[in-house]
Amino acid sequence: MQRYFLEKNLQGPNLILPQEIFHHAITVMRMRVGAKFEVVTPDEFVNIMEVTEIKGKVAKAKLVSKSRQTVEMPKQAVIVCGLSKGDKAEWIVQKGTEMGAAKFIFFQGDYSVAKWDQKKQKRKLERLYKIAQGAAEQSHRTQVPDVEFIAKVADLELPATALGWLPTKKKLNKEKRPC
């Protein structure tokens, strides 16, 4: 069943489809009256909706059932990644979301070839968030991961309970290198 995310909680049993959901559900997926789909609200409830009316560029749906699903990982995984060339950041967000990551933090590394221009940074983050949303819909998650950018890894603030690995400036002794 197709899944969509709403920015606001449902206000009653009826829903007028937002333009973006209308376009995908009615135009792309060719849903007709009687078709069912899932809508996830910010309170993480999964609402099964049924299309009741389609008139021009407006579609209405009614609530069929509402449930809370536990599909998120018990521990939140945060992926901290240096900027990479091409569309690798998009691929990281897509696959990471499908595997259950809760947050992505990109940073400008000392050896990063790619650079995010200050002017384009907001647009890139919005694009990555849309990719995360699409991957969350496809993998039937109830949360869309956050996507952030920090200027350098030194600005990273992790809670004391965080597990993981952070790079250090320490270099291996040439004599102890394996190979």
Sorted by where each begins, the domain ranges of the chain are 3-68, 77-155
Helices 118-138 and 88-99 pack at an angle, to 10 degrees, of 30
Residues ≥6 apart with Cβ < 8 Å to 136: 5, 97, 143, 144, 145
> What's the mean pLDDT when you consider all of the chain?
88
pLDDT value at residue 151? 85
pLDDT above 90 coverage of the chain, percent: 65
Top-tier CATH class for 77-155: alpha beta
Residues ≥6 apart with Cβ < 8 Å to 64: 36, 48, 49, 50
Overall fold of domain 3-68: Ribosomal Protein L25; Chain P (2.40.240)
**What confidence tens digit (pLDDT) does each residue in 38-92 have?**
999 999 999 999 999 999 999 999 999 999 988 888 888 899 998 888 889 999 9
Give the whole-angstrom CA distance, residue 137 versus residue 66.
Answer: 17
Specify the range with the lowest mean pLDDT, choosing from 8-22, 100-114, 161-175: 161-175
Question: Where in 111-157 does DSSP place strands (E)?
Answer: 146-150
More confident call, 167 vs 22: 22
pLDDT value at residue 168? 53
